[in-house]
Amino acid sequence: MNIRIQLLVLFVALWIPICGSSLCSAQFSLLGAQQADSPDSKAKTADVYDEKANATDDIAAAVDRAAKNHKRVLVVYGGNWCGWCVKLDEFFKKDRSVARTLRYEYEVVKVDIGKFDKNMEL
């Protein structure tokens, strides 16, 4: 029996619903990076992305689990400094329909991209 695995990649650091262009997204991301460097903003949010994780191994493990459990793989790229990335993670958890879909149909892997200096080759 063939197992079909779909790999859906969201590059969350550039995902901004208000703005469609890459240039505008990059400007908002850089603005968020400057604001997120303040000590107050660090205290407000818990780390969503594991900065020490090996993304290649995490993705490979998720693909294996997905094959065994007949699920898809969702790779979410982002950074703890990125307000949009944190909001998307909150949405994934708070929206019941989305949370249920992710729980039962996907193996979710969160990949830390640092400040666009880590895991960019993936």
Q: Of 7, 90, 11, 4, which is closest to residue 46 (Cα–Cα)?
A: 90
Averaged pLDDT for residues 2-27: 37
pLDDT at 121 exceeding the cut of 70: yes
pLDDT at 2 exceeding the cut of 70: no
Q: Are strands 106-112 and 72-78 parallel, antiparallel or unpaired?
A: parallel
Both tokens of 23, joined, read 């240039």
Sign of CA dihedral 39, 44, 81, 35: negative
- pLDDT tens-digit map of 18-47: 333 333 344 444 445 444 444 444 445 578
CA 68 → CA 9, 46, 73, distances in Å? 20, 31, 12
- The domains of the chain, with CATH numbers, are 7-16+23-112 (3.40.30.10)
